[in-house]
Amino acid sequence: MFEANPAVEAVRSQIDHPVIDSDGHFFEFVPVLNEYLAQEGGETLLRDFWAAATNNEIMSNWYELTLEQKLDVRQNRPVFWSAPAENTLDYATANFPKLLYQRMDEIGLDFSVMYPGIGNVAISLGNDDVRRAGCRAFNRYFKDAFAEFPDRMRPAAIVPAHTPEEAVEELEHAVKEQGFSVVLLPSYIKRPIRAAVRKDPSMERYAYWLDCYGVDSDYDYDPLWRKCLELKVLPTFHSPSHGMVMRNSVTNYCYNHIGHFAAAGDAVAKSLFMGGVTARFPELKFLFLEGGVGWARSLLADLIGHWEKRNGEAILQFDSRRIDREKFAELYREYGGSLFREHLAQEPLAHFNPPDESNYDDYAACNLSEKGDFIERFVEPFYFGCEADDPITTSAWDTLRNPLGAKLRAVMGSDIGHWDVPDMREVVEECWEPVEHGQMTKADFRDFVFTNPVEFWTHNRPDFFKGTRVQDAVARAMEPA
């Protein structure tokens, strides 16, 4: 039995609700993981999975290359020393679910949704057979590793989504056949830029664009969203973006890491919104993990600002055909001066883009009639995972400065198991610090660690917490006011 944690007890004495963690992390113990890979696809899958996994942005062959070779291929520096090594107890806790289970009270968490590490690589591998078989092997590992602890921990299944058909099939397998109630989708799918790859097939690794399910997607992903509703699961996203374009330092990992989860969340949230997914599926909720809420606040403001000036009606004020040519010519002659006058006979409007009658409303799919509709299309369906030490989290409740006076739906994601949580026992204390400093109210704290997580996880599955340690508190919270 582990000793009581005074810091946790101090917080507990001031609240009357559980603490729900929506983003804990565990390490896949590689020797055991390899057994599951081999069981799923034999030695061939075991070999091909690791060959593919070490040839991407997250896990790479960086250490095998000379500096010149790294620069030649722009091989970004991947994560290194990513675990709390000096804190051996925490390191072991991230590996062994039974140990985490025994320490939950000491850490201060009543219930935790658990996400993988290497699984974030498996879900995005380019080889169809390796990706799908690999994800099934990982999910069997997750299911078995946490099977004894459903009252306090729930693992997420990884669901690849290179096509809607793949996503629907793997989603059904994970939920119906393996019993998962939490699913993780990739934030984006890497698609090759076809013209470049046709010219040089070896360019596929470098010449790509990111398909985020909505705007300009290669596929119609509506069958996936309908399947999520049918199976009563909600999409969660947790993809990295370090190693891509503006996060592609060959030598500096922190340069690559800072802001990368936020950038991935921004991309998929913006695509879902502007692609009309939240308009077509108002009953669906989405959770973007580990990026905080600052990017969401900025994105909402930008979406509104652009809509106000470039919605289907407002955009017409910029149609170059509306320029009064006679008035423009008159002003041209009067104010152009010697620098411009000699060009008066030429077409002064030639630089304006011609109109595109078929596609000038970038917000057409969003079904917006007034600014207040952003509450229903963005604020209500989107939830944002925030770490305990993130100082920007409190802005989620800043109704004075947030667009539309909105409260954004922040949920606590402990991120235990990763290097940025060197001591798991400090997570709850760090979450509480903004309350002590007057930056967050007790009601805000309750929303952060309890109310918002409950609203999300029970939205389409009211019995999500049945049989767990928090079921009674959740039941009381869900009672009509």
pLDDT in tens, 130-167: 999 999 999 999 999 999 999 999 999 999 999 999 99
388 within domain boundaries: yes
Residue 26 contacts residue 99 (beta carbons within 8 Å) = no
362 within domain boundaries: no
Tens digits of residue pLDDT in 367-426: 999 999 999 999 999 999 999 999 999 999 999 999 999 999 999 999 999 999 999 999
**What residues contact residue 281 under an 8 Å CB cut-off, 6+ apart?**
222, 225, 226, 229
454 within domain boundaries: yes
Tens digits of residue pLDDT in 301-337: 999 999 999 999 999 888 877 888 888 878 888 887 7
Range of the domain at 236: 6-309+373-478
Judged against a pLDDT cut of 60, whether residue 16 lies above it is answered with yes
Instruction: State residue 325's pLDDT score.
Output: 80
> Looking at 31-40, 110-119, 228-237, 339-348, which range is the least confident one?
339-348
Judged against a pLDDT cut of 80, whether residue 1 lies above it is answered with no
3-state SS assignment for residue 390: coil
Instruction: State residue 59's pLDDT score.
Output: 63
Report the C-alpha dihedral over residues 431, 434, 436, 437, rounded to 10 degrees: 160
Total structural domains within the chain:
1
Residue with tokens 């809420």: 293
Please, what's the largest Cα pairwise distance for the chain? 89
36 within domain boundaries: yes
Instruction: State residue 352's pLDDT score.
Output: 62
pTM recorded for the entire structure: 0.95
113 within domain boundaries: yes
Judged against a pLDDT cut of 60, whether residue 350 lies above it is answered with no
- Which tokens in the block code for residue 291? 């990026």
Give the distance from CA 403 to its chain's centroid: 21
389 within domain boundaries: yes
The CATH number of the domain holding residue 79 is: 3.20.20.140
What angle do helix axes 30-53 and 128-145 make, rounded to 10 degrees?
160
Share of the chain above pLDDT 90, in %: 77
Tens digits of residue pLDDT in 352-370: 666 667 788 999 999 999 9
Judged against a pLDDT cut of 90, whether residue 173 lies above it is answered with yes
Residue 392 contacts residue 294 (beta carbons within 8 Å) = yes
Burial of 358 (0-12, 13-18, 19+ CB in 10 A): exposed
464 within domain boundaries: yes
Instruction: State residue 346's pLDDT score.
Output: 62
359 within domain boundaries: no
**Residue among 383, 366, 401 nearest 275 (CA):** 366
Q: Which of residues 63 and 290 earns the better pLDDT score?
A: 290
